[in-house]
Amino acid sequence: MVEREQVSDNYCNEAEGEESPEPEMSRSCRRRCKESNMSFVEMVEMVDILKRTDYDGKKAKIMAKVVKSLHRNFGVWRSKDQLRKRWSDLKLREHDQYRRIRRVLQKSK
């Protein structure tokens, strides 16, 4: 019983005062940026731009182009951090989907 109370007290303390480890986004970006899953065509567009420019994760201007392109073509605002994480996930974890996207891009050229 004592352990359970201690755990719940610790949980409440963490939820109340301490900051989350993720960086805070500005209020305007939080309203604008969409946090839902990306569609396949959005990922194809992102991979197309990043592959053409040989993106290495350090060029912020290229990611800004991706943000603008997705907004222009699909009407969706995505944060640069979300796109950077999605790009990393595609390359490192989701090999099958990355291959499918590359195949689509090769067929379209």
- Taking only the tens of pLDDT, the chain with its 109 residues reads 444 444 444 444 444 444 444 445 555 555 566 677 889 999 999 999 999 988 887 778 899 999 999 999 999 999 999 999 999 999 999 999 999 999 999 998 7
Residue 56: predicted pLDDT: 82
Residues 6 or more apart in contact with residue 101 via CB below 8 angstroms:
40, 43, 44, 47, 90
Q: Which domain holds residue 26?
A: 2-108
Partner residues linked to 77 by β-bridges: 33
Residue 20: predicted pLDDT: 41
Residue 36: predicted pLDDT: 77
Amino acid at 92: L
Residue 48: predicted pLDDT: 94
The total number of structural domains in the chain stands at: 1
Inter-residue contact 45 to 73 (CB < 8 Å): yes
